[in-house]
Every structure is written in C-alpha cells, then in structure tokens.
Amino acid sequence: MQVLITGSSGFIGSHVAEAAVAAGHAVRTLDLRDGRDVRDAAAVARLLEGADAVCHQAAKVGLGVDVSDMPDYSSVNVQGTAVLLAEMARAGVRRLVLASSMVVYGEGAYACARHGTVRPGPRAEDDLAAGVFEPACPECGARLAPGTVTEDAPLDPRNVYADTKLAQEHLAASWARAVGGSVTALRYHNVYGPRMPRDTPYAGVAALFRSRLERGEAPLVFEDGGQRRDFVHVRDVARANVLALEQEGTPGASRAYNVASGTPRTIADMAAALAAAYGGPEPVVTGGFRLGDVRHIVASPERARRELGYTAGVAFADGMAEFAGVPA
C-alpha cells in the first residue's frame, strides 16, 4: 500500500512511519519540519498522486496556553485538515486514518448514587482554587464515581485543542459521506515514549516530569495527583495506526476507536514511576490547576480489540522505565 503520512517527523508520526514500513507499506512523508505544510495544497496534491491511503498525524498539540493560541490551532488543525481532504477528493484517495484524541470527550463517564449516569459541567475556578477537584453531580451536588468511556459517549470538548480535534472528525465524516471515502478516527489517550516533545508549554505531563527529574528537580503534580488517565505507549499507538490502515473501511462512513492501554493510572502514579526509575527526587503535589483540564478520562479499548485486532503490548512499568532512559 502507498501511504501518505502527514506529521511524519513528529513524536507519533515518526513511529507510525516506521511501523508502516516494517509492515511492508510504501510510505510518503509530509512534515512542516521538512518544509512541507499540510496547508500547502500543491505540496499535498503532489504527494497524493498514486497514493492508496492517508494517515493524518499533523497537528498542533497540547491544551493551549491562552486564547491567543486559537488562530494557530484553527489554522493547523482545522484548515490543514480541510486542505488535505479537498486534495484527497481531487486525487481520488478514499482511505483516511485520522489521529484524533480522547480530549473530544471532555470529562469522562460518571455515575451518581442517586441519579445514575450523569455528565458534570466544567469545574469552576473557585472550586479548584479551594482544592475541590472532584466533579459533583449536576442534579444533587453529590460526589460522583468515575467510570469508563466508550466511543458512543457524548462529545464535549473543553479547550481549544479539543475543539479542533472534534472539528477534524466532523470534517472527515463530511468528506467520507460526500466522496464515498472511509475514515478511521483513532482517539489517542495519553501517549508517551521515545521522541516525546519536551520543555515547551505544550509538552505532555510525562515529558515535563522527566525534564524536571533530569535536572535533579522533583516532578510537580497538579491538583492532588488523583486525576485518572490511560497512559499508552507510542509503539502501541503506531501499531494501531497500521492495523487501521490495513482494515477495509465502509465507504461513506467514519468509525472512531479508543487507542488506550485499558489500565488507568493516576497522574501521581505516573510521576512516582518516573521518579523511582530515576532514583528520586520524590514528586511534590502542589494543589495547582489549569482551567480546561478534566479530572478523570479513561476509556475502554474493547471496540479496537474487537474490530481492529488492537491490544496494548507495552506494560506501564516497562514503558515508564524506558521513557526515563533506565536500562532494562
């Protein structure tokens, strides 16, 4: 298969490219670092000639610093995807694997003892400042029990990055219906591993913790450290992309899949694992917070296992030791 991979020099895209080549596919690459932008219609058109499929990883990532980030996120993630889809339509390329994100869900799944399944609204700044981190039932204000999100959960993005990832899914679904194409949207959970960006305002929390440990400083854990996430290794994510590329999609349809390990951990767990691999210093829980962050978001990867044949292969302890750079 001739596959165009956008964002091919990035953290995840570079691993996807390697996995696709290892699986026997011919890979074409497009990346801003190589002077080729997904918003450049002419460059995209040239690379689509004779291609069988596109694996779209190019994106501006992170939650954003403030509202001044909105134009950049919209330009790269929304306009870039629109250009790509338009050129795919012209070139007759009908297969798309889209890098989406768990951020499209907003808060995760919750249940109230009195009211059953509920969907809490965004957490109030006053509550966060007072150290009240757990979402409350919107009906009675009681503490909620977090659960597991499936792909059919309501979508409720709560920051600019999440808004643009959901926009990508909507654009891709419209493209599929219009041209008879097929879309597999992979909703990545907290991806970590080799080549993860570091020391930028948009870096993932694992990279920020590692950078502090490398400087001999304690990882700074926001809130109380009890935020639950699913940390999935980048090689598992790359393998999910290859499985999706090799799956024959339904013409005119878009199908979403959670790409996760299936084993939730807290942010404090992850910080402690990295600190232990380095031999300290121990993490420090700060009580700080970022507006737009969600408390718990963990997902079931069952649909991906059943329909794509995907299961995570890298154990949390092994992946964190490798990420810390500790020999096995």
Q: Is the Cβ–Cβ distance between 6 and 13 less than 8 Å? A: yes
Burial class (CB in 10 A: 0-12, 13-18, 19+), 192: buried
As beta bridge partners, residue 105 has none
DSSP annotation of 34 reads G
Backbone angles phi, psi at 95, to 5 degrees: -125, 120
Residue 161 falls in the annotated catalytic set: yes
Q: Is the Cβ–Cβ distance between 43 and 2 less than 8 Å? A: no
* Residue of 73, 161, 278, 310 marked catalytic: 161
From the list 268, 174, 263, the residue with the least C-alpha distance to 218 is 268
Backbone angles phi, psi at 28, to 5 degrees: -110, 145
Residue holding tokens 């600190």? 275
DSSP annotation of 151 reads T
Residues 201 and 69: their CA atoms lie apart, in Å, by 11
Q: Is the Cβ–Cβ distance between 89 and 178 less than 8 Å? A: yes
- 279: Cβ–Cβ under 8 A, 6 or more apart, which residues? none
The catalytic residue positions are 161
